Amino acid sequence: MTAPRTLYDKIWDDHVVHTSEDGTCLLYIDRHLVHEVTSPQAFEGLRMAGRKVRAPEKTIAVPDHNVPTTEGRDTHIDNEESRIQVEALDKNAKDFGINYYPVSDIRQGIVHIVGPEQGWTLPGMTVVCGDSHTATHGAFGALAHGIGTSEVEHVLATQTLIQKKSMNMKVEITGKLRPGVTAKDITLSVIGATGTAGGTGYVIEYCGEAIRDLSMEGRMTVCNMAIEGGARAGLIAPDEKTFAYVTGRPHAPKGEQLDAAIAYWKTLFTDEGAHFDKVVVLKGEEIEPVVTWGTSPEDVLGISGVVPHPESFTGGKIEAARRSLDYMGLEPGTPLKDIKIDAVFIGSCTNGRIEDLRAAAEVLKGKKIAPGVRGMVVPGSGLVRAQAEAEGLAQIFLDAGFEWRLAGCSMCLAMNPDQLAPGERCAATSNRNFEGRQGRGGRTHLLSPGMAAAAAVTGYLTDVRELMAETV
């Protein structure tokens, strides 16, 4: 009889290739996702050492971070440095024989949306990518985390990663969410409660009724921001929703292999009595639609709140809050709903999937963007874009006055031409509100797709429930 194990323990145990005396492990990697920004130096390292990609069939590349989101990009990218990076990925994918979705392919999109969409991401796998939001794939009960470029090279060469095991942390969301409250509000509320370093050293397992009730896409939104809470990875145990989601996808198992896979996937849960080193419990009913007011994802408040006073914090956070408010151009005591915005960004690996676009379109239907506000919708993949067009969502966005873009990371990190001007204030469905994140001097308020749409309509940060009431 083995001791009760957590979901993380089980996936870990199934991937240990070698354990050294000091506990350092070589962990096998089932899927390696690659994009253009964090990989060129890794491929160059392989070339210089005369090494090959050990498992090209388990390696998937797609350009997403700095591709333009406007038409014509498959033939020409204006920014020379961006073009060189995308061309380098084209060449590296070809030279090393790895799976590749170029910008001209309708399946191209944000790497963390493409992986699940194409069935590369499956329960029980280890998934890595040179991108911190790899945590997204944890929604499938896959151990997924970001790595640096040296580690990208290591995985390319060896299909393994040198790792020490993290501690186990449980985040339970009990009960039901109230109307207008989404996966984004859950994940931001958790970070608000634990802080951006609250998960450092841990792998989080999200559980509880409110998590079970989420769709796969909602679960991806929750796990996506595990990294913003400092955790190495976020996990959700796979269930019937997971199996239904992966079944039929191009790279998911089929027939007898699918049956065998599901039988294995059903063993992927935390055993009764397994030990967690840290436990956080939030009540689903108490979670409000939230926004961020500062320049750290932990700066979270319910939309009915007011901008806090720096003195209400302790330690180094006092100075950080002062700096944040100065950067954000906000006065303590201002109701969040009085904050006027200039731009709205709907997209990213956090909220660029079809359900996110549906939620935003639901609020926007028959309405217009407030005068002076610029709105941009960037679907997470070419396939999401096509589906949104087929469902009539694209037309709702266009009629409301939004720009309807091609797939990519876009204004989430503003490496491509989609950027805020200094001082511009943006309601964004992305994941980071750091200084300069969406463009030098740009000010970011993180929120859910419905909240972003509501802000677009009124021109101010807005409680989406007020607009929902209008449509009932």
Partner 1 sequence: MDKFTTLTGIAAPMPLVNIDTDMIIPKQFLKTIQRSGLGKNLFDEMRFNQDGSEIADFVLNQPAYRSAEIIIAGDNFGCGSSREHAPWALLDFGIRCVISTSFADIFFNNCFKNGILPIRLSEEQVGILMEDARKGANARMTVDLAAQTVTSSDGQVFSFEVDAFKKHCLLNGLDDIGLSLEKVSSIDAFEQTAGTKRPWV
Query: Between vectors from CA 276 to CA 275 and to CA 278, what angle results, nearest 5°?
Result: 150
Q: Of 319, 338, 399, 466, which lies in the binding site for partner 1, with binding defined by CB under 8 A?
A: 319
Judged by CB under 8 A, which of 20, 267, 304, 312 binds partner 1? 20
Residues between 164 and 193 that touch partner 1 (CB under 8 A):
164
Site string for partner 1, 85-104 (x = CB under 8 A): x--x----------------
Question: Is position 409 annotated in a ligand binding site?
Answer: yes
Q: Select from 56, 102, 201, 302 the one that contacts partner 1 (CB under 8 A).
A: 201
Residue from 10, 112, 154, 353 that binds partner 1 (CB under 8 A)?
154
**Smallest distance, Å, CB 22 to partner 1?**
5
Here's the x/- map for partner 1, 69-88, by CB under 8 A: it reads as: ----------x-xx-xx--x
Q: Is the dihedral of CA 344, 346, 348, 350 positive or negative?
A: positive
Nearer to partner 1, 69 or 159 (CB): 159
Does 44 bind partner 1 (CB under 8 A)? Our answer is yes
Q: What part of residues 202-261 is at the interface with partner 1 (CB under 8 A)?
A: 227, 230-232, 252-253, 257-258, 260-261
Residue 200 lies near partner 1 (rule: CB under 8 A): yes
C-alpha 442/C-alpha 425 separation (Å) is 6
Please work out the total of residues on this chain that contact partner 1, with binding judged by CB under 8 A. Answer: 80
The least CB distance from residue 440 to partner 1, in Å, is: 6
CB-nearer residue toward partner 1: 26 or 386: 26
Give the closest residue to 59 by CA, choosing from 27, 83, 94: 94
Which of residues 70, 90, 105, 146 is near partner 1 by CB under 8 A? 146
Query: Tokens 């796990």, residue?
Result: 223
Beta bridge partners, 175, equal none
From 5, 7, 30, 220, residue interacting with partner 1 (rule: CB under 8 A):
30
Using rule CB under 8 A, residue 41 touches partner 1? yes
Tell me which residue has tokens 């990519």: 408
* Cα-Cα end-to-end distance for the chain: 56
**Token pair of 3, please?**
């001791």
DSSP 314: -
In the list 150, 267, 395, 471, the residue contacting partner 1 (rule: CB under 8 A) is 150
Q: Is 349 annotated as a binding residue?
A: yes
Q: Is 426 annotated as a binding residue?
A: no
Q: State the minimum distance, in angstroms, from the CB of residue 164 to partner 1.
A: 7
Residue 101, SS3? coil
SS3 18: strand
Cα 357–Cα 175–Cα 288 angle in degrees, nearest 5: 50
- Please tell me the distance from the alpha carbon of residue 57 to that of residue 159, in angstroms, as a whole number: 11
CA 418 to chain centre: 18
Amino acid at 51: R
User: From the list 107, 157, 271, 358, which residue makes contact with partner 1 (rule: CB under 8 A)?
Assistant: 157
**Binding region for [4Fe-4S] cluster:** 349, 409, 412
Q: Which residues are annotated as a binding site?
A: 349, 409, 412
